Amino acid sequence: MKAFIFDMDGVIIDSEPIHFEIDVETMKYFGVTISPQEFERFVGMTNPEMWSILKQDYSLPQSVSEIIEYQLKLKIELIRSIDLAPIEGIQELIFDLKQNNIVIGLASSSPISFIHEVLRKYNFFEYFDCIVSGEEVAKGKPAPDIYLEASNQLNINPSECWVLEDSKHGIQAAKSAGMRCIGFINPNSGNQDLSRADTIINSVRDIKVTDLMLE
């Protein structure tokens, strides 16, 4: 292992409940009642891909960009206002990676503005050697584009990268990129099939950097 790439939502911050809450509220604002569980199938996907499907499924007259503009405004307001700590063990893992001279990337399907809000909230900006949003690649997860772009920016071969993911789509993206992947069981991310991951953990504290460096 020469590089470690983090997903963000559900991995660095337990934000999937926030996404579910705001997405339900967004649909309600545009006249549709939908349950939070109906969003579980979209975990790991980009906003444009998710809302394109929902727009078609529910015959929403608004454009995808209009929907995202409303949704993103609510999410940024909420993330700024709530007291929410990073997922337990994340800060220690980042420090351990840095101490072992492992380069660190972030590859999140979230819009870059939301990514920046999260990293700014926890003062994490300085630790990441690259930050890639799903907005910056041709196809979002489960396509491998975002992870290939991260490895390219880090100048590390995909086979020398480990990824931390909490969703089926994210794990598929990492594996399709030729990387090894840790599946993190986060109950708040919904019912996710993590079976394609190389290893599955219940706590971020279970990740041992020195062991990964020998893989």
Determine the Cα angle at 207 with ends 203 and 211, to 5°.
160
pLDDT at 215 over 80: no
Residue 39 and residue 20 in contact, taking contact as beta carbons nearer than 8 Å? yes
Overall average pLDDT of the 116-141 stretch? 95
Return phi, psi of residue 145, to 5°: -50, -45
Alpha carbon distance 159, 137 (integer Å): 20
Q: What's the pLDDT at 102?
A: 97
Q: What's the pLDDT at 16?
A: 87
What confidence tier does 132 reach under pLDDT thresholds 50, 70, 90? very high
DSSP assignment of 169-185 equals: HHHHHHHHTT-EEEEE-
Q: What's the pLDDT at 214?
A: 86
16-81: CATH class: mainly alpha
Q: What is the pLDDT of residues 58-68, one digit of tens each?
A: 999 999 999 99
**Residue 59 φ/ψ region, left for φ over 0, alpha for ψ in the -120 to 50 degree band, beta for the rest:** left
Residue 13 and residue 115 in contact, taking contact as beta carbons nearer than 8 Å? no
Q: Coil, helix or strand for 203? A: coil
What confidence tier does 180 reach under pLDDT thresholds 50, 70, 90? very high
Overall average pLDDT of the 16-28 stretch? 94
What token pair was written down for 17? Answer: 């409940």
Q: What is the pLDDT of residues 188-205, one digit of tens each?
A: 999 999 999 999 999 999
Overall average pLDDT of the 15-30 stretch? 94
Overall average pLDDT of the 90-119 stretch? 96
The proportion of the chain whose per-residue pLDDT surpasses 70, expressed as a percent, equals 100
Superfamily of domain 3-14+86-212: HAD superfamily/HAD-like (3.40.50.1000)
Q: What is the pLDDT of residues 79-89, one digit of tens each?
A: 999 989 999 99
pLDDT at 128 over 80: yes
Alpha carbon distance 28, 131 (integer Å): 32
Residue 151 and residue 179 in contact, taking contact as beta carbons nearer than 8 Å? yes
Cite the residue boundaries of each domain of the chain with CATH code 1.10.150.240: 16-81
DSSP assignment of 30-46 equals: TT----GGGGGGGTTS-
Residue 4 and residue 102 in contact, taking contact as beta carbons nearer than 8 Å? yes
pLDDT at 122 over 80: yes
What confidence tier does 96 reach under pLDDT thresholds 50, 70, 90? very high
Cite the residue boundaries of each domain of the chain with CATH code 3.40.50.1000: 3-14+86-212
pLDDT at 168 over 80: yes
What confidence tier does 146 reach under pLDDT thresholds 50, 70, 90? very high
Residue whose C-alpha is closest to residue 175's, from 147, 203, 156:
147
Alpha carbon distance 80, 125 (integer Å): 16
